[in-house]
Amino acid sequence: MATRFSSHFPRASGSPDVIVVGAGVVGAACAHYAARAGLSVTVLDRGPVAGGTTGAGEGNLLVSDKEPGPELELALHSSRLWRKLAEELPAAIEYETKGGVVVADDATRLAALRSLAAAQSDAGVDAREVSGGQLRELEPHLADGMPGGVHYPEDAQVHPALAAAHLLRASGAEVRCGEEVTAVLTAADGAVRGVATASGARLLAPYVVNAAGTWSGEIARMAGVRLPVLPRRGFVLVTEPLPRVVRHKVYAADYVADVASGSAALQTSAVVEGTAAGPVLIGASRERVGFDRTLSVEVLRRLAERATALFPVLGGVRVIRAYAGFRPYLPDHLPAIGPDPRVPGLVHACGHEGAGIGLAPATGVLTAAALTGSAPPLDPRPFRPDRFPDPCAAPDRRPR
């Protein structure tokens, strides 16, 4: 059923219908699909396009790492939308349907993978179990002795920063970089009227879309509501350019458990993938340390160790750089997408953790549907922004 809400505040002459806060790939997708729906859009970001989580991402468009449920449904819909966008946007976005391969190093992990793949297949995922011998056919440089794994042909990759830039360009939205939002403006009845920025500007619009990534909790706070988005740090190693020694996105089976974990402690698992440009990208680590960007030699050592265990050929390859990024984490591992019933006119599109690039198009479509009152392509209720209890709320002391 569509979420329908009419404009609660008349749009001022010359003002947009929608202000999107955040010029990462999620904000770009929201702008793109809102503009397609006929709305005028202004995008604000305190930094450059893709200057936050998007620019630090690997560009993964994955269905393989998601268990059946709302996030997988969102990922499958996004996968279809990315294929369409790849036909519309320039080849520079480096969209590549290379597929994913998840490997198990023992029989117990293989059994768990087999069970997950069967459930994913029932949910519509193309998941193909492969033997140890077939693994080597898919990835000739993979370490010996792997008993098997699962091949996911639908997994893909895109250049995230270029994808965000081209989505924004195609949207025709006004993009204002270096414009930090300092307040969400509201009317006497609490409804959104626009935003104020650090430059002193007051930009009016009846709707504000919160697509500020790891800073989305702060934007929500400016509007007077709680959204418990936290940063979850990760590092990526980038090798020198190579021939295509890694053909797919390849990761160890324990990566799926790390993605689903809510632990604040350091977790590392082997994730290795080649790119069209030549370098191999190596991850993945997760830890909640606030916005601390301090380079961790221990994390980089673990990533290199796990990558070379998976692909021994990488042992003699130079790493030319390493960088950190922050995933926007929500406690139940589902993004917040849609109108906030606590603040009319405030719409959230955030909290995707490490899956924001893959989930961006479906997020944009759901956001556009909410803004226009049209029927959404899938059930938006699991992503309700107000689903998190407010710890500051007074307890219910009514007699039972």
> How do residues 175-211 score in pLDDT, each as one tens digit?
999 999 999 999 999 999 999 999 999 999 999 999 9
- Residue 118: which CATH number? 3.30.9.10
| Sequence letter at residue 393 | A
Beta carbons within 8 Å of 79's beta carbon, 6+ residues apart: 61, 63, 154, 156, 358
Beta carbons within 8 Å of 349's beta carbon, 6+ residues apart: 26, 27, 30, 209, 210, 211, 335, 336, 337, 363, 364, 366, 367
Q: 295 or 265, which is more confident?
A: 295
**263 in the same domain as 279:** yes
**213 in the same domain as 202:** yes
Residue 6 pLDDT more than 60?
no
pLDDT at 265: 78
In a domain, 400, yes or no: no
Residue 7's pLDDT band (cuts 50, 70, 90): low
**248 in the same domain as 131:** yes
Query: What are the percentages of helix, strand and coil residues in the chain, rounded to 5?
Result: 35, 25, 40
What average pLDDT score do residues 16-22 get?
A: 98
User: What pTM value is reported for the model?
Assistant: 0.92
Tell me: the pLDDT tens digits for 55-84?
998 899 999 999 999 999 999 999 999 999
pLDDT at 395: 45
**9 in the same domain as 126:** no
Burial label for 392, CB within 10 Å (0-12, 13-18, 19+), is exposed
**259 in the same domain as 140:** yes
**130 in the same domain as 160:** no
In a domain, 398, yes or no: no
- Residue 355: which CATH number? 3.50.50.60
pLDDT at 49: 98
Tell me: the pLDDT tens digits for 325-365?
999 999 999 999 999 999 999 999 999 999 999 999 999 99
**174 in the same domain as 45:** yes
Vertex 99 angle, CA 120 and 123, to 5°: 15
d(C-alpha 398, C-alpha 199), whole Å:
48
Residue 4's pLDDT band (cuts 50, 70, 90): very low
**243 in the same domain as 117:** yes
Q: Indicate the residue among 329, 354, 384 that finishes a domain.
A: 329
Share of the chain above pLDDT 90, in %: 86
pLDDT at 389: 83
What average pLDDT score do residues 120-145 get?
A: 96
Residue 400 pLDDT more than 80?
no
What average pLDDT score do residues 310-337 get?
A: 95
**158 in the same domain as 138:** no
**173 in the same domain as 55:** yes
In a domain, 166, yes or no: yes
As a whole number, the mean pLDDT across the chain is 92
Share of the chain above pLDDT 70, in %: 92
Q: Indicate the residue among 281, 307, 329 that finishes a domain.
A: 329
Number of domains the chain is built from: 2
Tell me: the pLDDT tens digits for 232-272?
999 999 999 999 999 999 999 887 766 666 677 788 888 99
Question: Parallel, antiparallel, or unpaired: how do β-strands 207-210 and 346-350 relate?
Answer: parallel
In a domain, 399, yes or no: no
pLDDT at 13: 57
Helix (H) / strand (E) element for 267: namely strand 267-274
In a domain, 373, yes or no: yes
In a domain, 386, yes or no: yes
Residue 284's pLDDT band (cuts 50, 70, 90): confident
CA-wise closest residue to 154 among 112, 102, 103, 106 = 102
Residue 397 pLDDT more than 50?
no
Q: Indicate the residue among 275, 306, 329 that finishes a domain.
A: 329
What average pLDDT score do residues 100-125 get?
A: 95
**170 in the same domain as 25:** yes
Hey, what are 273's tokens? 């993938």
Residue 131's pLDDT band (cuts 50, 70, 90): very high
Domain limits for position 313: 99-153+230-329
**315 in the same domain as 266:** yes
